[in-house]
Amino acid sequence: MKKKYLLGLLTIALCTTLVFSANAQDKKKETGVGKAIDKTGKAIGKTATTVGNKTAEVAVKGASKVADKVYKGKMAPDGTDVYIDGKNRKYYINKKGGKVYLKASQIRNRPEHKM
């Protein structure tokens, strides 16, 4: 009987400790410092994502210019260069650095510059 009593008392003590420690973590967000830390963390995360996407885009474009041919006089729907790979597939590089393969109907003529 003593074992069950001690085990129950220990369980109650552990639960109350967890409840109080969880509440202590939430109170930081109510202060100005906690909100500023959250805003800064989100801003850093957003900036890191933007930098990562731009780095991937530049790297893939550089590799495509070396390995594949640029389709002269043609442009993608967003106005960027169209590349032709070894299997004669046409694609462009999106803002996240991914290759987007195009249908023939999606490729546009690039307007000539008038002087």
pLDDT digits (tens, 9 = 90+) for 73-101: 999 999 999 999 999 999 999 999 999 99
Of residues 73 and 37, more confidently modeled: 73
Q: Is 88 left (phi over 0), alpha (psi -120 to 50) or beta?
A: left
Task: Tell me the pTM.
Answer: 0.63
User: For the chain, which residues make up each domain, given as ranges?
Assistant: 41-109
Distances (CA, A) of 76 to 5, 33, 113: 74, 47, 17
